[in-house]
Amino acid sequence: MEENKKAINETEAVAMLHQFNEDLLPKKFGKIGKAWVALLCAVFLLGVYCYIIQLRRGLVITGMRDFVFWGIYISNFVFFVAISLVGSLVTAILYLLKVSWRAPLTRLSEIIAVAAIIFAGLIIIVDMGRPDRVVNMVLHGRIQSPIIWDVMVVSTYMVLSILLLYFPLLPGISFCRDHLKGIPKWQKRMYTILSLGWKNKPEQYKLVKKAITILSVMIIPVALCIHTVTSWLFASTYRPGWDSTNFGAYFVSGAFLVGSGGVVAGMYLLRRFNPSYEKYLTNTHFDRMGKLLVLLAVVYAYFSINEYLIPAYKMKGEEAHHLHELFTGYYAPMFWSVQFFGMILPIIVLLFKRGRRPFPMFIMAVLVIVCAWFKRYLIVIPSMSFLPVQEIPEAWKHYSPTLMEWAITGGSLAGALLVITFFIRYFPIISVWEVAEEKGVSTDIIYKHLHEGNEK
């Protein structure tokens, strides 16, 4: 693709733009798409229903008790925060590094980030015993508490992510407004309002570009913060497995890994269900992402080793108890499979060129995501169970999530997927002007011709 960069004349470029526009306009869902939406809606609504029951009866419907008082809600929260970090990675870091193949991936990663961070916020409310009192955090907030830091940094990140999604989207929305035919009235109105009267003026583009640069710089520290602060929720306690100074880096590296896995899986599914994307999400993209995944997995492995090896060398009282459970005890099967399938196997497979083809990549990405979810489970739960505490009912000593808990957690995951799905349905998931720019179309041509429909 790079050879195109210089020698592009105007007619070619305009034709290319028209082609892009045609390919990348959001399309109605087919049967599979509809079934997918219906499934997600069903799971999501089931989650909502169970949450209503939880509101009425209290957290007693979960498997949590005094002994293991944080469960899969919290591990799911950590998972969401982790996966949302990818927005900043692909959009901001790769943007600032001027990586040439990032343009088609930005919007996908940004919507994953937005969906995940929204549901991270929601799931933490689900975990609260008194969701009716969230407002206390504003009324009586204590700046000394890591939770308040987390609330601040998560909401900041949410706003920044939405902005970073929104600015480059403006030309796309206005294009949809002007060129999508036969759409219901509300959809048209939505486009009209959201496009902010975009006219494709060079001045408007300039502002958008300025905003993207500012955002890209700003979102990186905030993104690092969300996950670091989330790790502090654990690291600021005395519990074995949490009481670690390595936790921030460990969480962030894990988050980059799972986020990139999310983008790869998204890329694959987009291509699979809309072949016209294949031109934009090429095998090269997969190859590059594959290399990136290996790098991230290696970094993650480095921090994981730090996290477990040195405590295992010291074997401090409670810590030893905890590590024994992980390495050889109750949690050992889960622990080792997560390490192997979520880290070691992807590294091995993706080191080979053949492993970086779309389908094997997709499998690896799914493995990474699933293992990442269970990894969060292993970070959160075993630290509380198996400590030698007496005087509590036997049943409290082991935590296993109840069906309701699974349903609510599943509902939140479905909800996040639903947000992504609807976004793909109504907005262009690949940014035309950014892709065009990356392909060497001069900005003047883009400003002039991007907005032309090709319905002639």
Interface with other proteins (CB under 8 A), residue total 74
Name which of 201 and 291 has its Cβ closer to other proteins: 201
Map the footprint of other proteins across residues 364-393, applying CB under 8 A: 384, 387, 389-393
Name which of 15 and 217 has its Cβ closer to other proteins: 217
According to the binding rule CB under 8 A, does residue 332 interact with other proteins? no
Please enumerate in sequence order all residues whose Cβ is within 8 A of that of 295, keeping only pairs 6 or more positions apart, or say none: none
Given 25, 41, 46, 137, the residue binding other proteins (CB under 8 A): 137
Alpha-carbon distance 191 to 198, whole Å? 10
According to the binding rule CB under 8 A, does residue 193 interact with other proteins? no
Map the footprint of other proteins across residues 172-191, applying CB under 8 A: none
Map the footprint of other proteins across residues 216-255, applying CB under 8 A: 218, 222, 233-234, 236-239, 242
Name which of 14 and 378 has its Cβ closer to other proteins: 378
Cβ neighbourhood burial of 140 (10 Å; 0-12, 13-18, 19+): exposed
Name which of 274 and 383 has its Cβ closer to other proteins: 383
- Residue 2's SS3 state is helix
Given 9, 353, 394, 455, the residue binding other proteins (CB under 8 A): 394
Alpha-carbon distance 128 to 110, whole Å? 28
Given 5, 34, 189, 199, the residue binding other proteins (CB under 8 A): 199
CB of 137 to other proteins, least distance (A): 6
According to the binding rule CB under 8 A, does residue 4 interact with other proteins? no
Helix axes 103-127, 146-179, angle to 10 degrees: 130
Write down the residue that tokens 């997995």 correspond to.
297
Name which of 129 and 333 has its Cβ closer to other proteins: 129
Please enumerate in sequence order all residues whose Cβ is within 8 A of that of 168, keeping only pairs 6 or more positions apart, or say none: 106, 107, 208, 212, 431, 433, 434
Query: Could you tell me the two tokens for 96?
Result: 């600032």
Name which of 100 and 213 has its Cβ closer to other proteins: 213
CA 108 → CA 154, 169, 338, 423, 428, distances in Å?
Answer: 20, 12, 26, 10, 10
Q: Please, are residues 342 and 367 in contact by the beta-carbon 8 Å criterion?
A: yes
Map the footprint of other proteins across residues 50-89, applying CB under 8 A: 55-60, 62, 64-66, 69-70
CA 177 → CA 20, 59, 180, 182, 306, distances in Å?
Answer: 17, 46, 6, 11, 52
Alpha-carbon distance 300 to 252, whole Å? 9
Map the footprint of other proteins across residues 142-161, applying CB under 8 A: 142-149, 151-152, 156, 159-160
Alpha-carbon distance 103 to 91, whole Å? 8
According to the binding rule CB under 8 A, does residue 49 interact with other proteins? no
Alpha-carbon distance 205 to 442, whole Å? 13
According to the binding rule CB under 8 A, does residue 213 interact with other proteins? no
According to the binding rule CB under 8 A, does residue 170 interact with other proteins? yes
Name which of 30 and 141 has its Cβ closer to other proteins: 141
Q: Please, are residues 274 and 252 in contact by the beta-carbon 8 Å criterion?
A: no
Number of Cβ within a 10 Å radius of residue 24 = 22
CB of 142 to other proteins, least distance (A): 4
Given 11, 97, 129, 245, the residue binding other proteins (CB under 8 A): 129
Given 210, 291, 314, 316, the residue binding other proteins (CB under 8 A): 210
Given 6, 98, 132, 455, the residue binding other proteins (CB under 8 A): 132
Name which of 56 and 181 has its Cβ closer to other proteins: 56
